[in-house]
Amino acid sequence: MPDAPDQADRDAARLRLDVNAVVEAGAGTGKTTLLTDRILFLVLGWDRPQPVCVERVVALTFTEKAAGEIKLRLSERLVELAAGLSGAELPAAAQERAERTLSELRGRFGKEDAELLARARAAQADLDKAPIGTIHSFCAQLLRLYPVEAGVDPGFRVDDGEAFEEMFVSEWARWLDVELGEAPPRRAEWLALLAAAELDDAEALARELCSEKPELEGLTEPDADAARGLRALADAVRGVPAGRPKPRGGILDALAASAARLEAAADAAHALEPDPDAAPLPVAKDAKWPAAWEEDASA
């Protein structure tokens, strides 16, 4: 195989095991090949201060597929190298690849064939135990090793994407049974909340807070734009009766209550921190919207 134009950089990333390497490269340019080489040199050639067994090599990927590919390629390469070292027949391409790697292991790492063969066989035998996998499986493995320190149930399951929704729905229902049941532990708080928001809103907020990435940013920041908009809306609502005949029924009261709600919402949007002692938003009475804006004959 002819050398790539950037072979010197590739070699630095493959062979310089004493320094960290960061490789950014496009699709199909040889990243997995390079990483596989680096792991091979580490488990077969490195011994400062002692040899590294494959069980101590952590290689993390985003997907099971990519992790499987690294393991598969490592396994193929180890088999090839062992075959090359014991004089077995190999297809031409594999032979060339094995010879190149072996000459690097002998030349750059000063290894003898007997040691290389023993290390290649050991690595092949232990490859299954190597922590080469996804980031989430590695984290789960760590958490299972130290459940007490991590404060998790050692029998936890990793969510493959659907468990969260299932669990949220059942836990939310169970929680509401208690919260809104016969002896509600937080009756006053619920009444205040439900005067200002729907139960669905509370559920949406709870779901967001439990999700992997709750959108908390800006939650405690004053939102001057929203406050200005709400105040303009309150002014517009207050201005509705201007120039019109005095209406019948509770329409003026309803408008005043709506304007007060908008003003209170503007205050809340403008506050740096929501004031826990602030009066709850005024609630419009159970008023029915008057059928029409008709002149009040008594006025």
Residue 73 interacts, among Mg ion, ligand ATP, none and using kind-specific CB cut-offs from 5 to 8 Å, with: none
Residue 92 interacts, among Mg ion, ligand ATP, none and using kind-specific CB cut-offs from 5 to 8 Å, with: none
Only one of the segments 23-31, 134-142, 242-250, 266-274 lies at the binding site for ligand ATP (rule: CB under 6 A); that segment is 23-31
Residue 231 interacts, among ligand ATP, Mg ion, none and using kind-specific CB cut-offs from 5 to 8 Å, with: none
Instruction: Please state, in angstroms and rounded to a whole number, the distance separating the CA atoms of residues 118 and 98.
Output: 16
Report the interhelical angle of 92-107 vs 64-85 (nearest 10°): 80
Which of the residues 160 through 219 are near Mg ion (CB under 5 A)?
Answer: none
Q: Which is nearer to ligand ATP, 71 or 238 (CB)?
A: 71
Q: Which is nearer to ligand ATP, 5 or 155 (CB)?
A: 5
Q: Which is nearer to Mg ion, 97 or 231 (CB)?
A: 97
132 pairs with which residues across the strands? Answer: 59
The token pair at 73 is 């390629």
Instruction: Please state, in angstroms and rounded to a whole number, the distance separating the CA atoms of residues 248 and 256.
Output: 15
The token pair at 68 is 């499987």
134 touching ligand ATP, by CB under 6 A = no
**Residue 54 CB-density burial (10 A; 0-12 exposed, 13-18 middle, 19+ buried):** buried
Report which residue type is found at 290. Answer: P
Which of the residues 25 through 84 are near ligand ATP (CB under 6 A)?
Answer: 25, 27-33
Q: Which is nearer to ligand ATP, 41 or 269 (CB)?
A: 41
Residue 160's nearest CA partner among 61, 59, 60, 64 is 64
Residue 28 interacts, among Mg ion, ligand ATP, none and using kind-specific CB cut-offs from 5 to 8 Å, with: ligand ATP
Q: Which is nearer to ligand ATP, 36 or 262 (CB)?
A: 36
Q: Which is nearer to ligand ATP, 38 or 261 (CB)?
A: 38
Dihedral over Cα of 233, 236, 241, 244: its sign = negative
**Residue 101 CB-density burial (10 A; 0-12 exposed, 13-18 middle, 19+ buried):** buried
Residue 95 interacts, among ligand ATP, Mg ion, none and using kind-specific CB cut-offs from 5 to 8 Å, with: none
Q: Please, are residues 164 and 154 in contact by the beta-carbon 8 Å criterion?
A: no
Only one of the segments 22-30, 114-122, 153-161, 274-282 lies at the binding site for ligand ATP (rule: CB under 6 A); that segment is 22-30
133 pairs with which residues across the strands? Answer: 60
DSSP 247: B
Q: Which is nearer to ligand ATP, 10 or 111 (CB)?
A: 10
**Residue whose beta carbon is closest to Mg ion:** 32
Which of the residues 27 through 66 are near Mg ion (CB under 5 A)?
Answer: 31-32
Q: Please, are residues 279 and 231 in contact by the beta-carbon 8 Å criterion?
A: no
Binding residues (CB under 6 A) for ligand ATP: these are: 1, 4, 10, 25, 27-33
Binding residues (CB under 5 A) for Mg ion: these are: 31-32
